[in-house]
Amino acid sequence: MLTNTTCSNEVNYCNDFFFKYALGSEDEDSTYIRNTIIERVTGIHPKESIVLNPNLDPTLLAQKQSILDIHVKDEQGHEYDFEMQTTFLQASEWKRFEYYGANMLSKQLVEGENYRQLQPIYQIIFVNACPQNEKRLINRYIMRDPYGEAESKEPLLRRIYIQLPMIDEIAKEKGMEAMNDFEQVCYLFKNNANHAILKTKERLVRKLMEKHEKFKDDEGLWSLAMSRQMAEWREKNNLLDSYDEGKKKGLEEGTKLGLEQGTKLGLEKGTQIGTTLGTVNLLATLIKQKFAIDAKEWLSTLSLSQLYELSNQLLTCNTWEELKQAIKD
């Protein structure tokens, strides 16, 4: 049986309502936070930035139950879209990221305007996953051909993933005091543990922590944030329950299949084959959903005991390599 996650009675730093409040407000602190993150991630240093979707009205936000992004434009015309996505990501979510970028780009011009007026779109997406097994905190994507050459010297769509699982490895390797301001902010988003960096002198981190304290005074937004957090907690636990039910069903179906094959191979051998097949099929589906990797061939090389162990490791490992290493160890 997999262990259920626990729900905090505090709003997490990665809560998307707080994320919207911290980066999407029109005050000096929010401007500093988003401009500094833009600089750390893209290398661009905005002197000014405005939020194109600044609405923080709890009544209206309560009606928007899905995406709470922050759409920003700087003084040079560059556009940025911030998202915090730390729930389980399905294949459709990665497609949505691409769609959002293309949609933002298409809205820059009206009919008759010159394409030379188009400005780059930077999507800055914080995710609790390493989907392509790229073990870097910051992963940047532009259009390239099969040989790795960029489609354009000035690409208009630039998608940047901040892969939060990697921050724990960075903290272990460098130590908290040696991490830069952006790495410390990522540590807050990932672990919600400001006590670990209370002594920091980094202005970016201090401003984010101050924002978190001020957020508590906004009862409407705080209530919405806690409701969203509770809903996501229940969703994760439902997923874990579904995983256990699916595992049981997969074993039953696999055993049935094995029993049919057992007429030729013997009852005991057939039961073992069926159990293994059911487990492989179930784990292959879950791995594809979490890491976007087809692992069925590799799973078929594992013993039944290894498959059982892998099922226990699946929801605690953040990368494909980490999962494979857990089985090797």
Q: What is the 3-state secondary structure (H, E, C) of 51-81?
A: ECCCCCCHHHHCCCCCCCCEEEEECCCCEEE
Which pTM value belongs to this model? 0.70
Q: How far apart are CA 289 and CA 129, in angstroms?
A: 11
Q: Where are the domains of the chain?
A: 16-217, 249-326
Burial of 121 (0-12, 13-18, 19+ CB in 10 A): buried
Q: What is the pLDDT along the chain (329 residues), one digit of tens a residue?
A: 333 345 557 889 998 889 999 999 999 999 999 999 999 999 999 999 999 988 887 777 766 555 689 999 999 999 999 999 877 667 788 888 999 999 999 998 888 889 889 999 999 999 987 766 667 899 999 888 888 888 888 899 999 999 999 999 999 999 888 999 999 999 999 998 777 777 788 999 999 999 999 998 988 888 888 887 777 766 666 555 555 565 566 666 666 666 565 555 555 555 566 677 878 888 888 887 777 788 888 888 888 788 878 887 877 777 888 888 887 76
What pLDDT shows up at residue 252? 63
Structure tokens at 47: 């002197």
> Which residue(s) pair with 161 in the sheet?
125, 139
What pLDDT shows up at residue 1? 30
Q: How far apart are CA 119 and CA 206, in angstroms?
A: 32
What pLDDT shows up at residue 181? 94
Burial of 243 (0-12, 13-18, 19+ CB in 10 A): middle
Output the CA torsion sign for 166, 172, 175, 176.
positive
Q: How far apart are CA 273 and CA 257, in angstroms?
A: 8
Q: How far apart are CA 147 and CA 164, in angstroms?
A: 29
Q: How far apart are CA 130 and CA 320, in angstroms?
A: 8
